[in-house]
Amino acid sequence: MKKHSLYDVVLIGVWAALTFAVKFVLAPIANVELVSLLLCVFTIVMGFRRGVLAALVFTTLTVLESTYYGAGDWIVLYYINWPLLTVLTRVFLRDRRNDLRAAVLLGLFGLLFDIPSAGIKLVLFGPVYAATYLAGGIVFDAIHGAANFLTALFLYKPLCRELERLRVKLFR
């Protein structure tokens, strides 16, 4: 890490910014996103530590964006979910060639994305509110899960390949 610390700072910053830009571009399409895939691929290729840091920088960028769109308890959710995704990637995707496993992981991540948020609402507002929140979000969670599955199924491998090429160039 020390040897490449400058590379790391730039790399993590650029990837977080790229992820943020892609999120912004896809924002008009409800619950279709590439953030999950980009953070997952980055963690796979560049390593867990860089992955977590990129997730945290990306989340912080999103939180800064909230000064325009308005803040909410979703900020807590983001700080839980995106770093959590890098942990799940680390645990379940040790074999990076298995794109079906990546698609299943990201699909489930999208489908269950609101579970931590329901937990927050359970603590803040009680079980009825949390259950209503979860039930009301089923349509969006289903779309999120399916979209994540599809994007990972078709884009995971090519993205890993291209990023790996970049990694070899940077860290040889």
Partner 1 sequence: MKKKIGFAFLAVAAAALLIAGYFQFLAPKAQSGAKSVTIRVVMQSKGIDKTFHYQTTRSYVAELLKDKQRELKAVTKKSQYGDFVSGLLGVTADASKEYFNIKVDGKDASVGISQLPLESGKTYTFTLTAL
In the complex, what is the shortest distance from the CB of residue 147 to partner 1, in angstroms, rounded to a whole number?
9
Q: Which CB atom, from 31 or from 81, has the smaller least distance to partner 1?
A: 31
Q: Which CB atom, from 9 or from 30, has the smaller least distance to partner 1?
A: 30
Q: How many CA atoms lie within 13 A of 93 on its CB side?
A: 31
DSSP conformation letters of 112-163: TTTHHHHHHHHHHH-HHHHHHHHHHTHHHHHHHHHHHHHHHHHHHHHHHHHH
Judge contact between 97 and 67, C-beta under 8 A: no
- Using CB under 8 A as the criterion, what x/- string covers residues 113-132 for binding partner 1? ---------------xx--x
- Using CB under 8 A as the criterion, what x/- string covers residues 37-76 for binding partner 1? -------------------------------xxxxx----
Q: How many CA atoms lie within 13 A of 80 on its CB side?
A: 15
Q: Give the footprint of partner 1 on this chain (CB under 8 A).
A: 28-30, 68-72, 100, 103, 107, 128-129, 132-133, 135-136, 138-140, 142-143, 145-146, 149-150, 153-154
